[in-house]
Chain A
Amino acid sequence: SAVISQKPSRDICQRGTSLTIQCQVDSQVTMMFWYRQQPGQSLTLIATANQGSEATYESGFVIDKFPISRPNLTFSTLTVSNMSPEDSSIYLCSVPGLGGAGVDTEAFFGQGTRLTVV
């Protein structure tokens, strides 16, 4: 299993500012994923953070709004830029739990960052 530490756990931010969320994993992983969970909604994949290359963004998410860094195989950051109240959500990082032959055993999630934009 993987242990993921995500910081901050929560924050209240002013609109127009940016917040950087950190995700630290206790083992080296090739891929890390960032999800958003808007209030009362499901989890939506924002992007895949790849070490050594640009992040891959899902439809509806752009790098200017959600820049991602992946400096090594155990760490990633997601920045929520120029925030508005619509960005109020829980943001979660995730890593796959890979069994033998790359089989997905499950996904491990950080505790989440609860962001409120006022």
Chain B
Amino acid sequence: AQKVTQAQTEISVVEKEDVTLDCVYETRDTTYYLFWYKQPPSGELVFLIRRNSFDEQNEISGRYSWNFQKSTSSFNFTITASQVVDSAVYFCARTNAGKSTFGDGTTLTVKP
């Protein structure tokens, strides 16, 4: 199976700290898509970002930024100046033909 690995099970930071969530993926596909989702305590999945395998341009969107490095099969996610409302479980996922493989998730706790 082509795995998605999120090595960090839990991260705890104090508000306003920056935090980076790591994601490493396996794939034999030449074309694939990578995603980050947020799952707050309410349980719904919130889409954050998508990248395709041909687009290694890193991006900043507000307090969020992403670092996609195909050479190391990594797709890391950074929250700048974290806030309490960022507390959630964050999932990295790889999708091909609509089917998604998820990492085990990283539980982020932001303390006031």
Contacts and interface: CB of A to CB of B under 8 A. Distances in A.
- A, B bound: yes
B74 interface: no
Given A105-B50, A106-B50, A90 B43 contact: yes
B104 A107 contact: no
Given A106-B35, A107-B95, A43 B50 contact: no
Nearest to B101: A45
Interface residues of A, number: 25
Contacts of A43: 91, 100, 102
A42 B103 contact: yes
Among B96, B99, B104, the most chain A Cβ lie within 10 Å of the Cβ of: B99
Interface of B: 33, 35, 43-45, 47, 50, 52, 91, 93, 95-105
Closest 7 CB pairs of A and B: A96-B98, A109-B45, A43-B102, A42-B102, A104-B33, A42-B104, A106-B47
